[in-house]
Structure formats: structure tokens, C-alpha cells
Amino acid sequence: MTQVFYSSTLFGAMTLAAAVDEGRFGPHTGRRLLLVSNNAAIPEITPGVDETEGFAAIRARFDEVRSWNEIVAPLHPSDWKARQAELPMLGRLLLRDLGLGDGPAELVVESIAVPPSRTLAALIRDCPITVYSDGLMSYGPTRDPLPAEIAGRITRLLHLDLVPGLAPLLLREAGVAPQAIPDAAFAGVIDAIGAPDGLEGEAVILGQYLAALGILSDEEEAATHAAMLEAVAARGHRTVLFKPHPAAGRRHARRLRTAAEALGVDLRVAPETVPAEVCVKALRPRLVVGCFSTALVTSRRLFGARVATMGCETVLERLTPYENSNRIPATIIDATLPRLARDGSITDPPAADLPGLVEAVGYCMQSEQYPGLREAAVRYLAAHGPQARYFKSRRLSALGLVEVPPPHRPGRGGALGRLRRALTR
């Protein structure tokens, strides 16, 4: 029987490879088909998963690789979903196109709440579904309610154990049991990929694509990267490697070069398709800096690198709506990792009850899906207060988690009061 896997990022494909190597999908006795999708805003000019150098080390685990972009062209894979009345017909056509006969034995997807994964789950029916996590997002609540037909087929959640002791909220409302993938399996995949020639840097700056997500403006994101560079330069690092996000392109690097010249820093730029973990393993840098990238956690956990976050408080303030899926990753990073200041100083965050914080924020994000977390949220707020960094007062008030002060009523004294009474008479 055929197993169908889906991935939109090299990090996701690496996670799949680690799970395969750990035997989480059984012996390789049947056909394994990998669907890859390029979900970049303009996929025509952005390398896809199967076009990256590191993918060659993963490719052998699958018998066939197909492009979801080509199947749904000219539509964008992140936007298209079949209409309800079309599902049976399009599902049959997809099975025929993929050579799946009556359907696969298992469907393995990421980010189940949104297309393309949700689209695939609706089209490929009558088989169990395995969901694997997308980094730190597995610790947050499910983004959108899932149809019963899809939720009832999900049998497990595979995730990297990025924060030991913290249980994922993802799919908890559907009773799905999480299963951690050992660090050694993921580290083995990183070893197999290998680093390109020419990587150099005493410190590494991790780029993200916050402007593309609408969290910051282009200018603000460029200023954040420049502040990171200024901070690592203040710590005495003269050679710095900038690792752009795969979906961000090269524009961030071009802007950062100007700042590097003014600071007298030798800025090197890693290929955007090379995983950050590969860069950190090869360089063993003295410092890794980012905003709320999952690579901050993997760098510290897998390679013992010193890491620091910068700009996370601004991101937490800007994230809209409150239930934005990036809120839990940003919360975890902000609450657990040292914070880098522009002058180069690094300070540890205050001690945090991380499980309590994540459950409280998760309840505020998706209270209707996770009513069982209300008591945990009440306990956390009673113990720590409504920290403005992580909670919005309007959201807390709407959920009845804080008392709303009575509306202010003008007193009867003073000239205005006397005038009102005179007019009344």
C-alpha cells in the first residue's frame, strides 16, 4: 500500500526524514509518495523544497516526488480549496493522477488546519491521517476548527521535542496523542545534509519574513536586523553570518550589507535554502541571534549554542488577531531565551511557569475549542497577573478573566453639576 507524505519546507521534510528513520511509519514495504508544495508569495521565483541542495540527502527515503503546485496550477496552493460539492469528483481525479487506486494506506501532512494540508485531507479520504508539527507551532492551539470527517481520522501528532516537559496543545481538543521524535534522529538528518563551502562567522543572525506576514513593515524588519548586527558588533564579533529565511529572498541581506559596512563588520550571507541548523552545526558560532525562529531552540538544544532573542516583545504586541498562530512560538522564545540589547548586553528573562503560561495564552487564543484550559488560565493569572507582554486586556475582559471597572460617572459637584440641576428645575 502507498503512504502519501506532504511537505512545504525543507525543515518539514527533515522532520519527516527523522520520523522515517525512527521507524514511525513502519518498514518500507510499500510505495512512499512525497508531495511538495511551494507556498511562497511568488513561488515562480522562490526555490521549492525539492529544488534545495539539502533535499538530495532526504530524497532517497521516498519512491516518488510530485509537485502540488503543478497539480493545482495556475492556482496558488495556499489559497485553493475545493468546494464541498466538488470533493468526491476532484478526489477521484487526484487519486487517479497520483496512481493511488482506491486510496493510500496513510496520509501524512503538516499544518492540518489550513491549505494545502486541509485541502489534501478533504480530497484524500477514508484513510488515517498523521500530522507532524511545524517547529514551535505544535505547542499552540489548533488554528481553526476541523471538520469531524478530518479530525476523526487523525491518529497521532509527531513533533520534535523542542521544549522538554511542555506538552503540545495542537489537536489536543480532538484527543490526538503527541509523539516526540528523538533529537538524535533529527541530528542525524542534519549530519547527512552537510554544509556548503565558504560558510564563515563568529555570530549568526537568523532572518525571518515578518514583513511578508504583515507583522512588521519592510523598514521595521530591516531595522530589526540592523539592530541585531549592531548588538553583535558591540560584543566584539567582526565576522557575522546572516541566514535569510527561505521565503524572504535576498532583499534583507542587501539592506544589511549597508549597515555592516558602517559598523566595520564582515557580513557573510548563507544560501537561503541551507537550513539554519546546518549553518550552526558547521560554524559552532559564539552567538546565534534571532527574533522567534525555531532555529534558536534547535541551535541551543542540538548543538549547545549560545542564543539570544531580539525584537520579540514588539512582535507580541503587533500580532493580530490575538489568535495568530505565531503567538505561542513568540511567547515561548520570549519567556525562555536570553534577551539581547542594542548595546550588546544579554539578560536572562524572569523565571516563568512556561506550561501555565502556554495554556493560559492558548485558552485566550482559542477559548471555544479549549474550554478545559479555562481553570489553568484562571490559576496562571491569579498567580502572575495579566502580564501585558502576553495578554491583551480587552481579550481578558471579553473572556471574563479580569474584572471590568465600572464606567466613570461625573459627580454632582462643581459648576457643571449646579448648571445641570438649575436647568432641570
Quote the CA–CA distance of 155 and 15 in Å, as a whole number. Answer: 18
Whether the pLDDT of residue 406 is over 60: the answer is: no
Reported pTM: 0.91
pLDDT recorded at residue 123: 97
203-347, CATH topology level: Rossmann fold (3.40.50)
Beta pairing class for 239-243 and 266-269: parallel
When pLDDT is averaged across residues 280-309 and rounded to a whole number, the result is: 97
Closest C-alpha among 391, 369, 370, 371 to residue 382:
391
Question: Sign of torsion, CA 77 79 80 82?
Answer: positive
CATH of domain 3-193: 3.40.50
**DSSP letter at 84?**
G
Element (H, E) at 358: helix 354-365
Lowest mean pLDDT among 161-175, 204-218, 363-377: 204-218
When pLDDT is averaged across residues 110-114 and rounded to a whole number, the result is: 94
Strands (E), 291-340: 307-309, 339-340
**DSSP letter at 36?**
E
pLDDT recorded at residue 212: 82
Q: What residues contact residue 236 under an 8 Å CB cut-off, 6+ apart?
A: 344
Lowest mean pLDDT among 46-50, 173-177, 251-255, 265-269: 251-255
Quote the CA–CA distance of 421 and 416 in Å, as a whole number. Answer: 9
Quote the CA–CA distance of 9 and 294 in Å, as a whole number. Answer: 13
Contact 259, 228 (CB under 8 A): no
pLDDT recorded at residue 252: 79
pLDDT recorded at residue 246: 77
Contact 37, 116 (CB under 8 A): yes
When pLDDT is averaged across residues 105-134 and rounded to a whole number, the result is: 95
Quote the CA–CA distance of 14 and 278 in Å, as a whole number. Answer: 11
Domain positions in the chain are: 3-193, 203-347, 354-398
Structure confidence at residue 24 as a pLDDT band (50, 70, 90): very high
Q: Quick count: other Cβ atoms within 10 Å of Cβ 98?
A: 18
Identical fold, 3-193 and 203-347:
yes
Whether the pLDDT of residue 416 is over 90: the answer is: no
Burial class (CB in 10 A: 0-12, 13-18, 19+), 101: exposed
Q: Quick count: other Cβ atoms within 10 Å of Cβ 402?
A: 15
When pLDDT is averaged across residues 69-98 and rounded to a whole number, the result is: 96
Structure confidence at residue 425 as a pLDDT band (50, 70, 90): low
Whether the pLDDT of residue 185 is over 60: the answer is: yes
Quote the CA–CA distance of 324 and 305 in Å, as a whole number. Answer: 29
Quote the CA–CA distance of 406 and 89 in Å, as a whole number. Answer: 57
pLDDT recorded at residue 245: 84
Structure confidence at residue 209 as a pLDDT band (50, 70, 90): confident
Contact 77, 69 (CB under 8 A): yes
pLDDT recorded at residue 4: 98
